[in-house]
Amino acid sequence: MPIFYNDSTREFHLQTDKTSYIFNVLENGQLGQLYYGKKLRHRKSFQRLFHIEATPNTACVNEGDLVFSLDILKQEYPAFGTTDFREPAYQVLQENGSRITHFVYQDHSILQGKNKLEGLPATYVESEDEAATLEISLYDKEIDVEIRLSYTVFDELNAITRSARFINHGQAEVNVARAMSASIDLPDSNFEMVQLSGAWSRERHIKNRKLVPGIQSIASTRGTSSAQHNPFLALKRPETTEHQGEVYGVSLVYSGNFLAQVEVDHYDVSRLMIGINPFEFNWLLKSGEDFQTPEVVLVYSAEGLNSMSQTFHRLFRTRLARGQWRDRERPVLINNWEATYFDFDEKKIFELAKASKALGVELFVLDDGWFGKRDSDTTSLGDWAPDARKLPNGLTQLAKDINGLGMEFGLWFEPEMVSKVSELYKAHPEWVIRVPNRQMSHGRNQLVLDFSRQEVVDYIHGLMAGVLRDAPISYVKWDMNRYMTEVGSLSLPADRQREVAHRYILGVYSLYERLTAEFPHVLFESCAGGGSRFDPGMLHYAPQGWTSDDTDAVERLKIQYGTSLVYPISSMGAHVSAVPNHQVGRMTSLETRANVAYFGAFGYELDVTMMTEAEKETVKQQIAFYKENRSLIQQGRFYRIESPFAEDGNRTSWVAVSEDQREAMLGFYQVLAQPNPGLTRIFFKGLNPEFEYAIEGMDDTFYGDELMAAGFQLNRIRSNEHPSDFSSIVLKLKQV
């Protein structure tokens, strides 16, 4: 069991294959933190490593004692106002107006495996020996409230998950005003904070900043995890690179408003915390009620960012994502959005499907515009019945016809929204997120349905399940195209209005839960105006997500590279689209567009009927190539080699290596051509040094150690004589 407890020293030691996480019960009963980092051999006590002494000009807990102060002690789940002056992990407001609490260790239990988090997405085990869980009860006897901290140690996968549950055993009401999922005090501040930030169409760009004293944070207040900041944060040493050095990564399994922050205190201790954004949040806990925080996944790596990413990839791909599609090769799809937008009918759709089938596409996805009177984005959301003008023979018939071609059929929904111009809004104007007597702002002409109301979720479930039962649908793209404003629910009392944003997300999860259970054969792809809700919470239900509305091959290098910091390649929807590109107007070759999109859940999003015969031939080959290699790409280990975020950033390269290291797929991309570039080499990663590899299309063979240490000279396969912008190479390696 990778969890040790020593009764005499009251120390806990959580140990994975490569990491140790150690904390203890302090003399006043609160939990103190001792160590998180590289694995330490287990011993009875680690306390001699941590010696405290009196510090000047502070506040102390015990009368007559100038040493014991929470101001200088690292905390496990810190409280504010009792000698710790940093921001706390939680705050509980009491009926008398006090926010002072004293939660002390009560007891703990250790079990094999992992319990479910009721109503929330979370990592899981398939057999009990995969992980062990520690649950610690902290209790404040004054208010009769318990906090149950939960830790799961995935020893082999090298990750630890944490969450907290607040339980009101008392008679009086309390308010949970802040409830972070985890807090970690690291003993120094020699770190850079790494975040994934951006905006619509440039999601999850990697940004680094050096820590300074005070608070530095990222957050969402938009109702979704957002394109602006991803619910992830890493602290890396300044010298840490992709392949060496220390890094701590935290990733929140949540899709709503979050906060991730680091507070560097006056002794250079870095307090890292992540959880639901406390701004605009409050949870009323009546007698007997409880509140569960989302789960956070903690990963420490002493071997650079890439190894942290591989840990997240493995855990998320195999023990966060679920269902029949989790381990299956993803189908090559075509989506009609950029081909037609709203302007289509069944004839056009069938033509597109037929033409793409001839090229090898396996799944046809009918995007926005198939329901109500949806000729533009001003109408019909909420009216999930097929539009008989566009589909006179019905949606079911169209799906059957497409099945008849030998293709699967997929459909777009935006379940959480309603248009003002719709039958649903006419019937239920009270079913939207809003506050009384205030105007409602809109986004893309639409309003957000109040998913905190059970009847709203039930109603949408009924409509969607009806469509999914009627038509042979094997894929659903679940979109969400606006952020929330004027957040409130007409069905909740005044003292529960700050619960709405979280209750909304719980409603979304419950609908996903029901639909994925009822239609287990359906592959769900999450989407939010591109990648505005691309997070671990969604990944639990939808094993792939639409990475970004930006389909330009050059832009996608940064987006996919950044996304890969946390999310597996199999989770990133990546499509070849038309040129000039619809988002940035750039012209790139069909080859480069595919070479980028191969490193994701691959598909096309253009009008194939408009392509020349030569282009169709190329597409046919691309699809055949992807099918042959998709298990390697989707399930292999991903190594980033050259970063588009580097100072020059002109080159990007990465390689996917199969688990057994017998096969690898390199992607190399150069944005602008260079005159007289000299000899360029790629240094492979992750190969087996002892294996001899053949590179497709070449007679020579190379050993893994040669390709990794001496590198592969690219001009062997690409002449420098006719350079062009936006060039790329994909190379397949196979052990001979």
Q: Minimal distance in Å, beta carbon 529 to ligand DGJ?
A: 5
Q: State which of residues 146, 265, 346, 368 lies at the interface with ligand DGJ (CB under 6 A).
A: 368
Question: How far is residue 295's CA from residue 180's CA, in Å, rounded to a whole number?
Answer: 10
Nearer Cβ to ligand DGJ (78/382): 382
Site for ligand DGJ contains 367 (CB under 6 A):
yes
Collapsed DSSP state (helix, strand, coil) of residue 41: coil
Q: Which phi and psi (to 5°) does residue 307 adopt? A: -75, -35
Strand partners, 523: 475
Strand ranges of the sheet holding 651-657, from the earlier edge strand across to the other edge: 637-642, 651-657, 663-670, 727-735, 692-695, 701-703
Tell which one of 258, 384, 412, 654 touches ligand DGJ (CB under 6 A). 412
Least separation in angstroms between CB 481 and ligand DGJ? 5
Residue 479 interacting with ligand DGJ (CB under 6 A): yes
Minimum CB distance to ligand DGJ, residue 381 (Å) = 10
Listing DSSP states for 559-603 in one string gives HHHHHTTTS-GGGEEEEEE-SS-TTT-----HHHHHHHHTSSEEE
337 in contact with ligand DGJ (CB under 6 A)? yes
Counting contacts by CB under 6 A, is residue 387 touching ligand DGJ? Answer: no
The residue among 146 and 368 lying less far from ligand DGJ, judged by its C-beta, is: 368
546 binds ligand DGJ (CB under 6 A): yes
User: With respect to ligand DGJ, which residue has the nearer C-beta, 365 or 730?
Assistant: 365
552 binds ligand DGJ (CB under 6 A): no
Q: Is 33 in the site for ligand DGJ (CB under 6 A)?
A: no
Q: Does 362 bind ligand DGJ (CB under 6 A)?
A: no
Listed ranges 28-36, 253-261, 416-424, 527-535: which one lies at the site for ligand DGJ (CB under 6 A): 527-535
Q: How far apart are the first and last CA of the chain?
A: 41
- Name the minimum Å distance from CB 124 to ligand DGJ: 29
Candidate ranges 42-50, 295-303, 385-393, 526-534; the one touching ligand DGJ (CB under 6 A): 526-534
- Cα–Cα distance list, 310 to 36, 307, 419, 657, 730 (Å): 19, 5, 41, 12, 21
Which is it for the CA torsion 33, 147, 251, 658, positive or negative? positive
- Name the one residue in this structure whose structure tokens are 């194939």: 608
Count residues near ligand DGJ (CB under 6 A).
11
Q: Closest by alpha carbon to 385, among 347, 423, 416, 351?
A: 423
Concerning whether 479 is annotated as a catalytic residue, the answer is yes
Residue with tokens 């942290």: 308
The b/e string for 79-114 (b: 16+ C-beta within 10 A; e otherwise) is bbebbbebbbbbbbbbeeeeeebebbbeebebeeeb
Q: Which residues contact 175 (CB under 8 A, 6 or more apart)?
A: 92, 93, 282, 283, 284, 285
Residue 84 is a catalytic residue: no
CB of 203 to ligand DGJ, least distance (A): 11
What is d(CA 362, CA 686) in angstroms, rounded to the nearest whole number? 31
Nearest CB to ligand DGJ, comparing residues 191 and 412: 412
Q: Which is nearer to ligand DGJ, 290 or 375 (CB)?
A: 375
Indicate the residue among 304 and 530 with the shorter CB distance to ligand DGJ.
530
- What does DSSP assign to residue 706? I
Strands 270-276 and 258-264, sheet pairing: antiparallel
Gap between the Cα atoms of 656 and 633, Å rounded: 6
Q: Judged by CB under 6 A, which stretch of 307-315, 523-531, 554-562, 689-697 contacts ligand DGJ?
A: 523-531
Q: Which is nearer to ligand DGJ, 246 or 479 (CB)?
A: 479
Q: Is 549 in the site for ligand DGJ (CB under 6 A)?
A: yes
Nearer to ligand DGJ, 84 or 549 (CB): 549
Least Cβ distance, residue 274 to ligand DGJ (angstroms): 26
Active-site pick, 185, 383, 450, 549: 549
Site string for ligand DGJ, 433-472 (x = CB under 6 A): ----------------------------------------
Site track for ligand DGJ across 641-680, x = CB under 6 A? ----------------------------------------
Peptide bond into 278 cis (omega under 30): no
- Does 524 contact ligand DGJ by CB under 6 A? no
Q: Which is nearer to ligand DGJ, 74 or 204 (CB)?
A: 204
Minimum CB distance to ligand DGJ, residue 546 (Å): 5
Among the listed residues 558, 465, 467, the one whose alpha carbon sits nearest the alpha carbon of residue 515: 465
Beta-strand pair 572-577/544-546: parallel
Give, to the nearest 10 degrees, the angle between helix 613-635 and helix 590-597: 20
Residue number with the smallest Cβ distance to ligand DGJ: 368
Tell me the catalytic residues.
479, 549
Binding site for ligand DGJ (CB under 6 A): 337, 367-368, 412, 479, 481, 527, 529-530, 546, 549
